[in-house]
Structure 1
């Protein structure tokens, strides 16, 4: 499968990896930042869908 046909989340992941690698960001800094982003987006997902199981 080519990247052109890949799901949006795969395309985003590839773009983020390239951005982080091009800027030589240390892996521990990347992981810490991704944890912050994950928490932020989980909060946004919960706010958008408060009745989804697991979001209660």
Structure 2
């Protein structure tokens, strides 16, 4: 026997709310501070259409 939840789950903002104007603008990355991390870009991948993410 199952019970219906007492709270309407569709009214909860479990993952935040989307802004009506869309995503935020581009982030300025030109004038960032120097770092001691030795990071290298090893490769680039691009795909069209639906493509599962890869790490």
TM class, shorter-chain normalised? under 0.3
- The alignment's TM-score, normalised by the length of structure 2, stands at 0.18
Which one has a bigger Cα radius of gyration?
2
- The alignment's TM-score, normalised by the length of structure 1, stands at 0.18
